[in-house]
Chain A
Amino acid sequence: MEDFEQPVLSVSNITKHYGKGCVNCRGSQVEHLLKNYCPVCGTVYACQDITFEVYAGEILGIVGESGSGKSTLMECLYFDQEVSSGEAYINSYKSGTANVFAESSQQKRYIRNHMMGKVYQNPLMSLKMNFSSIGNIAEKLIAAGNRHVGMMEARGKELLEHVNIPVYRMKEAPKNFSGGMQQRVQIAKALSNNPPLLLLDEVTTGLDLSVQASVLDLIKTIQRELKITVLIVSHDLGVIRMLADRTMVMLDGKIIEHGLTDQILEDPQQSYTQQLVQSLL
C-alpha cells in the first residue's frame, strides 16, 4: 500500500442520538424515523451510521443543510460529544488499532491535544477572549504537556506569524481582533501541537468576502506546506469547491452521497444534492 492510501482517520458506523430511543426506532428500525426524528418517542438521530475514511494530506469536505448533522459529527470526532455507537481509528494512535471512542477520558484528552486541532465557527468556543493571543496558543501547548516557557513563546510567535498576525499584536487579547483575525488565531491554536488532523467547522461563516478569501487562502497554504489532513464542514459549496478533494453530502444525519468534489458539483446523483447544487449562486 502506498502512503496516500493509508487512512489518517477511519470512521465506521457512528450514530449519535438525543433521547433513549424506543422499539420503533432502535437498531435496524431507523427506517421508521420521520427524517431524523422518531415520531413515537421523540428521539432525534443527529448522525446515523456514518462511515468514511480520510487520507493523508487530503481535504475532505462535508456539506449539507443546517441540521443535517455535520457539526454533530465533528463534535463527536473531537470528543465534544459522546457517540451513541460507532468506532473511529486514528492512524497515528496505537498504529490505528484502537477504537478512540472506547478509550479512557485521559486518553481522549491526549488524542485531542496531540493528534487533532479544531477550528470552530464561533471563536468563543475555542479562544479565551481575555487571554493574549500567544497565551491562547500556550494553553494548548500546556495541555499537551509542554512546560518550557521560552519554547512555548517561540512556538506561539512562529504560529501567529504563520497565520499573518503581526508580531506587535501577539500579546493582545483576541477580543480586540476582527472576526477574520480571531479565526486565524484559532487556526494557529489548532496547529500548535502539529496535529495530523485538522477539523474545520464552518470557519468562514459570518465573515465578509475578502476576509473569507484570506482565511481560505491560509487554510490551503497551511494544508500544502504542512501536508496536514483536513476535514472541513461547510454549507457553502463555494468553499468546498475551492478546498476539498473529495466531498460527502449529509442529509437528516446520513451520508447520502460522496465523491470527487467536481463530480459532486457537476454530476450529482441524488435528488437532494441536485437541489443543493442548483442553489449555488
Chain B
Amino acid sequence: MEEILAIEHLSKSFVIHNLDKNIEALHDICIDLREGEFVGITGKSGSGKSTVFKCIYRTYAPQKGNIWYKSKKFGLVNLADLSERQIIYLRKYEIGYVSQFLSIMPRTTAQELVKHAVLEMGHEEEYAEREAFKMLEHFELDRELWDCYPGTFSGGEKLRLNIARAMVKRPRLLLLDEPTASLDHASKLKVRELIEQLKREGTTMMGIFHDIEFMENLCNREYTMRDGKLVDIEI
C-alpha cells in the first residue's frame, strides 16, 4: 500500500499574548498513514489528539515539522506550508474532516447542507441533489428529517449528517475527530458500522477516540498520546 500521509517531527505551541504564555501542545509527532488504512489515536483530553488533526487540516498553523500528503492534484505536498488556495482546494476535493460538532448554516436544511458540499465542487444542481439523497439514504438519516433544520437533531442524527456531508465529496483522506463523543451505545455501534463500511470501500481514515473498546479490531494501527507526545504505537 502506498503512503498517503507522513507527519514528521510535528510541533505546535500556542502563544497567548495577553497572558504572555507559550503553551506547548504537540512535541515531535511522527505518524504515517497508507492508502486504505484506518489509524486511530487515543489519549486523555488535552493530550493533543485534535491538535494533530487541526494541523493536518490547517485550522492550526504548525510551527515545526512537515506534514507530507500525496495529493491527486498537486503530487507530494507539505500541508504545513502549502498555500492557502491549495489548502482550500484540498479541503474541497480531497480531505474531509468530521468533528463531533456539526457546523450549521442558518436556515439550511439537512439535505441542502449535504447538497452544498457537492455544489461547492462545481457540480450541477441535479447531480448534487442526487448525490445528497444517495448519501443521506446511505447513512440512514430518517427521510422525514431531510427537510428539517439540523439544529433540532439528536447527537446521532447530527453525526450521521456530518459524516454524510464529508463523505458526499468522496475524500481520499477522512479525519474523524471524536465522532463518538457524547453518543449513546446504540449510536456508537452505528458509527462503528459506518466506519467499517467506509473501510471496506477503501477510504483512508484517521480517527480520534476516547473509547479504547470502540477501536478494538477496527484500526490497522493505534497511536496513544500523552501531554502532546506520542507514547505508544500498537499494530
With contact pairs A213-B107, A266-B60 given, residues A55 and B18 touching in the complex (Cβ less than 8 Å) = no
Give B98 Cβ to nearest chain A Cβ, in Å: 15
In the complex, what residues of A have CB within 8 A of residue B58's CB?
260, 263
CB pair A5–B14 under 8 Å, yes or no, is no
Residue interface bits B118-147, CB-to-A below 8 A is 1, else 0? 011000000000000000000000000000
In the complex, what residues of B have CB within 8 A of residue A262's CB?
59
CB pair B61–A58 under 8 Å, yes or no, is no
A275 within 8 A of B: yes
Interfacial residues of chain B within 184-205, with CB under 8 A of chain A in the complex: none
In the complex, what residues of A have CB within 8 A of residue B17's CB?
270-271, 274
B75 within 8 A of A: no
B153 within 8 A of A: no
From B14, B88, B108, give the contact of A58 (CB < 8 A): B88
Interface residues on B, range: 20 to 34
Give B163 Cβ to nearest chain A Cβ, in Å: 19
Interfacial residues of chain B within 12-29, with CB under 8 A of chain A in the complex: 14-18
Q: Besides the contacts A224-B119, A267-B54, what 16 more A-B pairs have beta carbons closer than 8 Å?
A: A58-B88, A213-B106, A213-B107, A214-B107, A217-B106, A217-B108, A246-B84, A259-B61, A259-B84, A260-B58, A260-B87, A263-B58, A263-B60, A263-B61, A266-B59, A270-B17
19 contacts between A and B (CB under 8 A): A55-B85, A213-B106, A214-B107, A216-B106, A217-B105, A217-B106, A224-B120, A242-B106, A246-B88, A259-B61, A260-B87, A260-B88, A263-B60, A263-B61, A266-B59, A267-B14, A271-B17, A274-B16, A274-B17
CB pair A267–B106 under 8 Å, yes or no, is no
A158 within 8 A of B: no
In the complex, what residues of B have CB within 8 A of residue A245's CB?
88
CB pair B61–A5 under 8 Å, yes or no, is no
In the complex, what residues of A have CB within 8 A of residue B59's CB?
260, 262-263, 266-267
Residue interface bits A71-100, CB-to-B below 8 A is 1, else 0? 000000000000000000000000000000
The SS class assigned to the A binding surface is helix
Give the nearest-CB partner of B14 in chain A: A267
In the complex, what residues of B have CB within 8 A of residue A164's CB?
none
In the complex, what residues of A have CB within 8 A of residue B88's CB?
58, 245-246, 260
CB pair A267–B119 under 8 Å, yes or no, is no
How many contacts between A and B, using CB within 8 angstroms? 52
CB pair A266–B85 under 8 Å, yes or no, is no
A269 within 8 A of B: yes
In the complex, what residues of A have CB within 8 A of residue B101's CB?
none
Give the nearest-CB partner of B119 in chain A: A224
Give the nearest-CB partner of B125 in chain A: A225
Give the nearest-CB partner of A57 in chain B: B122
Residue interface bits B41-54, CB-to-A below 8 A is 1, else 0? 00000000000001
In the complex, what residues of B have CB within 8 A of residue A266's CB?
54, 59-60
With contact pairs A213-B106, A274-B17 given, residues A4 and B119 touching in the complex (Cβ less than 8 Å) = no
CB pair B18–A274 under 8 Å, yes or no, is yes
Give the nearest-CB partner of A271 in chain B: B17
Interfacial residues of chain A within 241-275, with CB under 8 A of chain B in the complex: 242, 245-246, 259-260, 262-263, 266-267, 269-271, 274-275
In the complex, what residues of A have CB within 8 A of residue B60's CB?
263, 266-267
Give the nearest-CB partner of B122 in chain A: A227
Give B112 Cβ to nearest chain A Cβ, in Å: 10
CB pair B54–A271 under 8 Å, yes or no, is no
A13 to B51, CA, bound (A): 35
CB pair A4–B89 under 8 Å, yes or no, is yes
Residue interface bits B85-112, CB-to-A below 8 A is 1, else 0? 1011100000000000000011110000
A274 to B19, CA, bound (A): 11
A4 to B73, CA, bound (A): 13
In the complex, what residues of B have CB within 8 A of residue A270's CB?
17
In the complex, what residues of B have CB within 8 A of residue A4's CB?
85, 89
A268 to B88, CA, bound (A): 18
Give A162 Cβ to nearest chain B Cβ, in Å: 15
A260 to B90, CA, bound (A): 13
In the complex, what residues of A have CB within 8 A of residue B14's CB?
267
A41 to B88, CA, bound (A): 44
Give the nearest-CB partner of B103 in chain A: A241
